[in-house]
A and B are shown apart, each in its own frame.
Chain A
Amino acid sequence: MSRTLQVAVVGHTNTGKTSLLRTLMRDTGFGEVSDAPATTRGVEGAGLLADGEEVMALYDTPGLEDAAAVREWLEAHGYGPSDEAEGMRQFLESAEAGAALEQEAKVFRQLLASDVGLYVIDAREPVLGKYRDELAALRACAKPLIPVLNFVASADARDREWRDALAELSLHAVIAFDTVVYDADSEQRLFEKLLGMLDAYRAPLSRLMVARREEAARLHAAALRRIAELAIDVAACVQLVPGDRTDAAREMSALRDAVRAHEQQCVDDLLTLHGFAGAEHVPESLPMTDGQWDADLFTPEALREFGISAGRAGAVGAAAGFMIDVATVGLTLGAGTAGGAAAGALWGSRRGLGRRVWRRLQGRHELRVAEPTLQLLVVRQLSLVAALRRRGHGATDAIRGGPAASAPWRDGRGPSVLHRAQAHPEWSRLNPASGDPRSSSRDAAIGELARWLEQLA
């Protein structure tokens, strides 16, 4: 195959053609998108790549606004259903195609130069007569046409109506592909439909589908791993407090700042991973503004937002979100470690116990992030990933119905690896002076937690 598959994306103005390209390209910066007519006025091209090799060329065209006038021209110049294609070529040469109907001419010219057209439909709109005129004009180009129903996730989508109307025009290979609420399966179906229609391009399209599937799997694994890294870093993080001080406000404030910054780094990474580099693309269904969580991590409101009970560690005021381990050889385990599993973890690790005793002898306590806050950290990031996975790159507005988030585990019943992490300060990148955080056991712990999260997700 010397020539890559050429696909023209056509449709009425303001139906989301550029959004479709953005989502297929994973590129939020392509073209210009707005809820207004004629945002795209030139034809802009994009190549879809599989393993760095171009396998499909997509062309974003201006919206059709007056296709009826093109039909009129054809009829006025005596072209009927039998010689429409020739008539269309004549039209593109005409004076009108360079003036009032220039936008339409660009669309038809691009469709004629392509192997197939994707006809993008705003499924919230009824099947108006002007759309029928448009389809009739497009069919004059005698190119295969695949209707793409956009905005199908909307409550007032009329996809049934559209399918019936398109079937009447013997356009049966209809695809529902919401560029706002994107999901990987509908993208695969879109490529499948193309494949079914264009057998000559079977090999490149199959490669593209495989590449996209692998990409999705890799992305999900990487996202979970990133969250696991954050959780291990925070769970293993410890701040030493002199024993003669009971308030420890300075240490708490330092720890709080470090954990907040670490969470923000994770959010940034997750956004970058999913191709939403800028904060303006953050799903509005999430309690987030400018790529930052609205509620502070260390407030009870933030816990409640995700249905996590503050539990027994629910200290209020300055100490919220922390546990101070004033362990005296395991007789008192501190408020936060009162859970059975946490105590077990403490007893189970001689190393941890020994260290605590040593610190106690030195007159110092350990300050840690409490378990409910850890839960919140995990569930917030998981909900972000869930929202990012279901969001098209063309979306500029809010999506309805965010992911239902709840506490990922009951207090003290979390993954054992998080409790083990408390005995491994060297696992945390937040502990500056603690050994080599890249020990192989840290990797194993992150892997274990990521697998645990996968079952959860």
Chain B
Amino acid sequence: MSATAPRFNDRLVAEAVRVHEDRLGHPVDEPEAWQHGRDAAGDLEARLVARAGATRLGLRVRDTLGRWRRNVAVLLGFAVLLAFLAGVITAIGVFGVPGPGGGEVNVFVVLAGLLGLQLAVLLVWLLMVVLRPGRGGGWLGARVMGVMALLTRRLSPDDPRQLLAIAAARLTGERRLGAWAASTLTHALWAAFCIGALLTCMLALAVRQYDFVWGTTLLDAPHFIQLVGWLGTGPALLGFPVPDEALVRASRLGADVAIEARRPWAGLVLGALLVYGLVPRVVLGLACFGLARRAAARFRLDLSASAYALAAPRVTPAARRMGVIDPERAGADAATGAVTKRVPAAEGPVAVAMLEPGPDVSVAIPDAWVSLGAADDRASRERVIEALRARAAAPRVVVVVAWLARTPDRGARSFLRRLRDATRAPVWLVLAGAGTARARDLRVASRIDEWARLAGGAAIDRVLAPQDDADCDDLGARVEAAFVDAPGSGT
């Protein structure tokens, strides 16, 4: 993705911090670390890793990891040296401690001593890789990690060493990473062993004189000759001198020592050590190293872990607030000046207009009332106002029915204002449809307040709101009752 893509060690640090946060039950809260995570380029994982690495604990873990890596490098150096010395000692062992100048050695004892054990171990390793792909080769590594975790158990819970050991034990279980790393180590150690043995053999063969012999009590000679032929194929391909059939026969124990066979036999031993010992280990070691590298590179943190999941929105927010771009101007809502309330005349018809009716609401209008129509869109509002203007005599009162399910808006206010301007009669606003509003989970009381406020802005003479919860939509009765009340008193 980018140059800042996290590496395995970064992920290891993040995992160690997660172990701590998991124990804590919540993410470590350090503002600079969060900021660091948000500023990091890349995907969510990269951000979480960057954030974990920037916490104080993460920095301590990173220091510890650096120390560990140096210590491990030293330890590995020692281990390789030991393996090398083991090779030297083995080679000395199989060549025996001959007289001052050399002596007779059994060629098969030499080969079995130098190659036997490690070929057997190699076979077991191969079997493990094939038969138990989940565990094979990783056994050693897993045990080492386990011992490490055990050793750190007594440390304080937020000690970076303990966190790191737990995190490492967990991560190396992923994608066979631990298995390949342990295999690499194993092959490297055996390769060091082979080099030690090879150098010792070369030295011994260079400055001492050995007569290679073979012998058998039970088996037939041709089998041995055949075996030597097979063993010699590899070294011969690399140009090592190997004994031919006649020389092999001549080297049998008890036969006259064939002086000319010494060099080919030495070539066979050195060649076999190289071809069957060192080369496979180096090749497999490099292969395992490559696989371990690949596993480390492909490794990804499990982001569904609670500590990561809780931290995710804080490093990759879904959105950013930009703030107010076009602010409200103070006092934009123009208030109306004081208006004298109009009082209904004693006689006359009641004119009624519906404000924004819809199929969802209905109300029964008394037959005696004069309908001005319904006011909804611009054209119909004009028609209602025209109808009111067209009347020769002012009605006793103009009743506008509005529904509580509707949100009062400035459009309605300006209509009511113009309606009132079009007549001398008082304009009453009747609020209906409380049942519909309640069915929609609207708070009826606050909706009534909003309509009342709007009515105030439109200089409406009276607002008739339904009593609390009573859903009385009997329009005629409500208006008649209002005539009986003290005239002009608004609700």
Q: A residues engaging B (CB < 8 A)?
A: 12-14, 24-27, 30, 35-38, 41-49, 51-52, 54, 57, 59, 62-63, 65-69, 71-72, 99-100, 102-103, 106, 109-110, 124-126, 128-130, 132-133, 154-156, 158, 212, 215, 218-219, 221-223, 225-226, 229, 265, 269, 272-273, 275, 397-398, 429, 435-438, 440, 443, 450
Contact = CB atoms under 8 A, between A and B. Distances in A.
A438 B166 contact: yes
A429 B23 contact: yes
A48 B319 contact: yes
A222 B309 CA distance: 6
A284 to B, nearest CB: 10
B316 A52 contact: yes
B319 A25 contact: yes
B407 interface: yes
Contact of B170 (A26, A435, A437, A443): A443
Interface in B146-190: 149, 153, 166, 169-170, 173
A222 B378 contact: no
A49 B320 contact: yes
Contacts of B319: 24-27, 30, 46-49
Interface in B297-318: 303-306, 308-310, 312-313, 315-318
Interface string B437-481: 001111100110010000000000000000000000000000000
A36 B313 contact: no
B409 interface: yes
A109 B309 CA distance: 40
B334 interface: yes
A128 B148 CA distance: 74
A376 B63 CA distance: 45
B420 interface: no
A362 to B, nearest CB: 23
Contacts of B378: 68, 71-72, 129, 133
Contact of A52 (B38, B149, B406): B38
A397 B440 CA distance: 11
B411 interface: yes
A303 B217 CA distance: 83
Can you list the 3 inter-chain pairs with the closest CB atoms, starting with the nearest? A129-B377, A222-B309, A45-B322
A265 B19 CA distance: 17
B299 to A, nearest CB: 15
A14 B441 CA distance: 14
Interface in B320-342: 320-329, 332, 334
Contacts of B327: 42
A46 B319 CA distance: 7
Given A13-B407, A30-B319, A221-B309, 12 more contacts: A35-B447, A52-B38, A109-B326, A218-B44, A218-B312, A219-B309, A222-B303, A222-B306, A222-B308, A225-B304, A437-B23, A440-B169
B414 interface: yes
B318 A438 contact: no
Contact of B306 (A47, A52, A154, A225): A225
B386 to A, nearest CB: 15
A46 B408 contact: no
A25 B212 CA distance: 84
Contact of A218 (B41, B149, B304): B304
Contact of A49 (B43, B316, B439): B316
Given A51-B44, A215-B318, A218-B304, A37 B408 contact: yes
A59 B322 CA distance: 9
B254 interface: no
B377 A222 contact: no
B377 A51 contact: no
B358 interface: yes
Contacts of A52: 38, 41, 47, 315-317
Contacts of B211: none
B358 A154 contact: no
Nearest to A435: B153
Interface string B405-446: 111111100100000000000000000000000011111001
26 contacts: A13-B409, A36-B446, A42-B326, A42-B327, A42-B328, A43-B325, A46-B319, A46-B320, A46-B321, A47-B319, A51-B43, A59-B325, A62-B328, A72-B378, A100-B410, A124-B440, A125-B360, A125-B405, A126-B360, A128-B376, A218-B44, A222-B308, A223-B309, A265-B25, A269-B306, A440-B173
Contact of A12 (B42, B317, B359, B409): B409
B324 A66 contact: no
B304 A129 contact: no
Contacts of A59: 325
Contacts of B329: 102
Contacts of B442: 35
Contacts of B166: 436, 438
B381 interface: yes
Contacts of B408: 37
Contacts of A128: 356, 358, 376-377
B253 to A, nearest CB: 57
B411 A103 contact: no
A68 B173 CA distance: 69
Nearest to A72: B378
Contacts of B325: 42-45, 59
A44 B443 contact: no
B22 interface: yes
Interface string B19-63: 100110110000000000010011110010000000000000000
B226 interface: no
A36 to B, nearest CB: 6
Nearest to B410: A65
Contact of B324 (A14, A27, A43): A43
A265 B47 CA distance: 25
Contacts of A68: 377-378, 381, 411
Interface in B135-153: 149, 153
Contacts of A155: 439
B36 to A, nearest CB: 13
B411 A65 contact: yes
B380 interface: yes
Interface in B355-393: 356, 358-360, 376-381
